[in-house]
Amino acid sequence: MRKILLSATVVGMGLAWLWHFYQILTSGKVYFYEPSMLILWSEITGIAILTAFGLWSFISFLRRK
């Protein structure tokens, strides 16, 4: 149960961060602003990888049960 909650938390955090960076990308503003497109895209990529890892961990754990 603990691993399921941990994976769900990682996925939730990743999706929340992706939403924030998507808002910055499309509208240019949220509560914070990233002026460098290179840094913004690297943050988006890193968070997407984190979210994918969380999903993979969550799904692989459910398949083992």
> Does residue 8 register a pLDDT over 70?
yes
What's the predicted TM-score (pTM) here? 0.58
- Give tens-digit pLDDT for 29-63: 666 677 899 998 998 888 888 888 878 888 888 88
Domain count of the chain?
A: 1
Task: Name 43's Cβ contacts closer than 8 Å, sequence gap at least 6.
Answer: 21, 34
CA angle 51, 54, 59 (to 5 degrees): 125
User: 33 in helix, strand or coil?
Assistant: coil
CA gap 27, 53 in Å, rounded: 28
- Please tell me the predicted confidence (pLDDT) of residue 38: 94
The parent domain of residue 41 ranges over 2-64
What integer pLDDT is reported at residue 65 of this predicted model? 67
pLDDT of 16 reads: 83
**CA distance readout (Å), 55 to 13, 14, 21, 24:** 11, 10, 19, 24
